[in-house]
Amino acid sequence: MNLDIIAQLVQILKDAPDVGATEIRRGLFGTWSSVRVSKAGQGTNAGHIVVTQPSPQSPVPSSRGMGTGEGSAPPVAGPPLLEIKSPMVGTFYSAPEPGAQAYVKVGSRVNVGQVVCIIEAMKIMNEIESEVGGVVKEVCVQNAQPVEFGQVLFRVDPHA
């Protein structure tokens, strides 16, 4: 992240007194960087701005609706959920063939490297592997639904 982006985030907080925090994430396929700028709540830090930056190799927690459109889930209390996103544009298939069991469903435990779905692109069936481990808490797309690059496919609780 460069300092201009951080300065812009700080300016957003200064210009919008009702906004308590803002965050930006960048990356792809396990190499993520994230900067969160938030106003300190109470006590001696009231009115100050705090900037935190997780390590670049850390998995990305759920954006809780940032950039996911109208169908985004409301924020949930508890630990943040990790997202498995589509690495390409195509058609989502939850099972290896019609009538077969889905690779994963809500409540399934997934491991890093486990196939979670197929995305068909240009008549090629691409097996999508999980980059996170945990329990699937939400399947965000339906079988045979078109998906976009970066669209959230699954939300996973790494602590379950």
Q: What domains can be seen in the chain, in order of their start residue? A: 3-52 (no CATH), 82-157 (2.40.50.100)
Task: Report yes or no on whether pTM surpasses 0.85.
Answer: no
Q: What is the pLDDT of residue 35?
A: 66
Q: Strand, coil or helix: what is 154?
A: strand
Both tokens of 47, joined, read 């009115």
Q: What is the pLDDT of residue 64?
A: 44
Q: Which residues 6+ apart lie within 8 Å of 101 measured at CB?
A: 95
Q: What is the pLDDT of residue 50?
A: 46
CB atoms within 10 A of CB 14: 11
Q: What is the pLDDT of residue 16?
A: 73
Q: What is the pLDDT of residue 10?
A: 74
CA-to-CA distance for 10 and 38, rounded, in angstroms? 8
pLDDT by residue, tens only, the chain of 160 residues: 566 767 777 777 777 776 666 666 665 555 556 666 666 553 333 344 444 444 444 444 444 444 444 444 555 456 689 999 999 999 999 999 999 999 999 999 999 999 999 999 998 999 999 999 999 999 999 999 999 999 999 999 998 7
CA-to-CA distance for 99 and 113, rounded, in angstroms? 24
